[in-house]
Amino acid sequence: MQEFRNISVVLVQTSHPGNIGAAARAMKNMGLSRLILVNPAEFPSGVAVGRAAGAVNVLESAAVVDSLPEAVADCGLVIGASARSRRIPWPMLSPEQTAQQVAAECNSSAVALVFGREDSGLNNEELQLCNYHVQIPTNPDYSSLNLAAAVMVLCYELHKVSLSIEETTLDTYHDWDQDIATGEQVEHFYQHLERVMVAIDFHDPENPRQLMQRMRRLFSRIRIDVMEMNILRGILTNIEYNISKRDK
Ligand code: SAH
């Protein structure tokens, strides 16, 4: 069995502490331990401890952060679980493909599996921080799973893959000469890109027409590495420099 490292389960603004406890239990059952809570309504919580049963250590070591960008700042692969499809289509994985993708990358960079709020799921901005979305196939007339049940399905798929593979067989970026860019590095790039597109009058923030969403989707598809990102940042910096020279 391969030990999966570097995998976090991220729960965004969970309202019911019982779901946090049940998610921690599902994680430990399936061999995962890194839990990140983004703005939970109630945590720490006795109810969560009760539902976690023998997985209290997962709760005790959970990190609590203020925002999803903060939770995924160090991640090279971010996968968001969503019961619904969205306005701009995004690369989708099945639960089985999710487990394969995570196994292929978790030895080379940190990975996050992101789950949304009980009432409204993940918002569009949060979904756009993800490289892929995963939808668990369900009854189309009643598609939304309980949060901890959704965590269990994906952790179980991961555990099955970990039981079946040899170390490095799936490690896509094993021999890569550069690290894959992290969530934080990619966020800085998007901000820089937006600034330059405004400066060259390509992008009108008053009339954005989904431009930034489409740029995010483009770059999140290609798993850009740190060197490639630096080249693009360098190009943007030179464009800015040349604009400022021209305007003098
Ligand atoms: N009513 C919400 C669903 C919230 S369920 C909505 O319509 O979006 C809480 C979380 O569990 C979701 O944000 C998602 O991360 C996960 N989840 C529930 N059902 C799922 C499914 N069928 N596929 C993938 N994730 C699911």
Q: Is the CB of 124 under 6 A from ligand 1?
A: no
Q: Which residues of 222-239 are buried (b: 16+ CB within 10 A; e: fewer)?
A: ebbbeeebeebeeebeeb
Helices 147-164/17-29 angle, 10° precision: 10
Yes or no: say if 118 and 19 are a contact pair by the CB < 8 Å rule: yes
Mean pLDDT of the chain: 94
Provide DSSP, 177-215.
SSPBPPHHHHHHHHHHHHHHHHHTTS--TTS-TTHHHHH
Is a pLDDT exceeding 70 seen at residue 1? no
- Residue 147 tokens read as 């949060």
In the structure, what pLDDT confidence band is assigned to residue 21 with cuts at 50, 70 and 90?
very high
Of 13, 17, 20, 5, the residue nearest 148 (C-alpha)? 20
pLDDT at 247: 82
3-state helix, strand, coil in the chain (%, to 5): 45, 15, 40
pLDDT at 2: 61
φ, ψ for residue 67, nearest 5 deg: -150, 160
Q: What is the pLDDT of residues 68-94, one digit of tens each?
A: 999 999 999 999 999 977 778 999 999
Q: Is the CB of 145 under 6 A from ligand 1?
A: yes
Q: What is the pLDDT of residues 153-162, one digit of tens each?
A: 999 999 999 9
In the structure, what pLDDT confidence band is assigned to residue 166 with cuts at 50, 70 and 90?
low
Global confidence as pTM: 0.91
Q: What is the pLDDT of residues 89-113, one digit of tens each?
A: 999 999 999 999 999 999 889 999 9
Is a pLDDT exceeding 70 seen at residue 152? yes
pLDDT at 248: 80
φ, ψ for residue 94, nearest 5 deg: -80, 165
Report, in angstroms and rounded to the nearest whole number, the Rg of the chain calculated over CA atoms.
19
The full set of domains in the chain, from first to last, is 7-169 (3.40.1280.10), 183-247 (1.10.8.590)
Yes or no: say if 170 and 100 are a contact pair by the CB < 8 Å rule: yes
Is a pLDDT exceeding 80 seen at residue 132? yes
Name the residue with tokens 């007339």. Answer: 141
CA of 117 to the centre of ligand 1 (A): 8
Segment among 118-122, 167-171, 173-177 with least mean pLDDT:
167-171
Of 116, 141, 118, 8, the residue nearest 63 (C-alpha)? 8
In this prediction, what percent of the chain has a pLDDT beyond 70? 96
Segment among 164-173, 185-194, 219-228 with least mean pLDDT:
164-173
pLDDT at 32: 96
pLDDT at 123: 95
Is a pLDDT exceeding 60 seen at residue 167? no
In this prediction, what percent of the chain has a pLDDT beyond 90? 86
Q: What is the pLDDT of residues 32-68, one digit of tens each?
A: 999 999 999 999 999 999 999 999 999 999 999 999 9
CA of 179 to the centre of ligand 1 (A): 31
CA of 63 to the centre of ligand 1 (A): 22
Is a pLDDT exceeding 90 seen at residue 170? no
Yes or no: say if 127 and 213 are a contact pair by the CB < 8 Å rule: no
CA of 10 to the centre of ligand 1 (A): 13
